[in-house]
Amino acid sequence: MKSFVKTYALLFIPIFILNIISLLNMVNAPLISSSYNNALVKEFIWIIIGYISLFIILKINIKKLFDYSKYLYVFSLLLLILVLIVGKEINGAKCWLNIFEFSFQPSELCNISLSLYLFSLAKSAQIKSFKDELKLVLKLLIVTLIPSILVFLEPDTGAIINYFIIFLIVFLAKKLNKKWYIFSFITLLLFIITFIIIYIFYKDLLLSIIGTSLFYRIDRIINWTNGTSYQLENALTTIGSASFFRWGFNKIQLYIPEAPTDFIFAFSIGNYGLICALLILLSFITLDLFLINKNKNQYKMFVSTYIGIFLFHQIYNIFMNLGLLPIMGIPLPFLSYGGSNIIINYIYIGIIVNIFNRG
């Protein structure tokens, strides 16, 4: 046990620091909205469930987990279909399943199942010809597109980005013929150019294809530089006016609608000062370096999918809070309020530590 703690101190100490900051923020969450009245208790329960999940995963035979990844993937798809039928709608998106007093987001679970299944497909593929490469690429793409389409219908833009980050990492890590990467780059470039042309010159056509709700979400992201939103203005004011040290209990900050979730970075600074931002950044940097340096084994491709998502969420959320990227529902791992994201991150960490333990 002592050896385990010593080996993984640089992993669990930063996570624990982020947990404490998250819980301290939830003390002030009810000042944002009455819907966060039980945020502190719920966040604490989710963190405990996260640690329990992590230690259960450590006891699992990691090879069997990858062997049964197909079934976990199918189960995730069934949940994504179920959420479209009976899911809870919040802010125009039907992304949550209600379980008693708690909400669960199936698209988060799909991050893990997709990572496991794509890795298994890529690892087991025997590449001897162009036909084998084509077969594998089509498999990887179809397996990624199915949950992406289901999540597109919710809609949840952040989840779709996660899925394609996973696909891209597996696709690149498999080291196929370089022609595939050239072809993919050209295809992506043509898609972007086509979308821009349709968006600029044929907005009515685009509106009819993707619907009003999704169109305005995309329009808001594309035109994010044309003025700042109310919540971003308040977030920037909160950051800009913060002192280095601050004790935020019972201090009412500027109103930021999604402060405990999407704008948790600004909320943390408003509550506890710039020292809190420094602790958050140092914790994430320590975690990133630990995961990257330890990622040297036969499961490197899988671990890299988590590192990719983990880095994307950190960079996007913090830059979004600073007004450097458009506002999108991207939570900050181990810090933002929300059970699904917290628990799934712990499960990922559990799988990764299990992998590291077995070399």
CB atoms within 10 A of CB 123: 14
Q: Is residue 100 very low, low, confident or very high in pLDDT (cuts 50, 70, 90)? A: low
Q: Does the structure show a pLDDT above 70 at 251?
A: no
Residues 119 and 305 sit within 8 Å (Cβ to Cβ) = yes
pLDDT in tens, 315-339: 999 999 998 888 888 899 999 998 8
Q: The tokens 């125009």 sit on which residue?
A: 92
Q: Whole-angstrom Cα distance, residue 28 to residue 26?
A: 5
Mean pLDDT of 235-262: 74
User: So what's the pLDDT on residue 199?
Assistant: 79
pTM listed for this prediction: 0.87
pLDDT in tens, 172-195: 888 888 888 888 889 888 988 888
Sequence-distant contacts of 176-179: CB under 8 A, at least 24 apart = 176/127, 176/133, 176/136, 176/137, 177/130, 177/133
Cα angle 208, 210, 216 (rounded to 5 degrees) comes to: 95
Q: Is the peptide bond prior to 333 cis by the omega test (within 30 degrees of 0)?
A: no
Among residues of the chain, what percentage have pLDDT more than 70?
89
Q: Does the structure show a pLDDT above 60 at 349?
A: yes
Strand 88-90 versus strand 93-99 pairing type? antiparallel
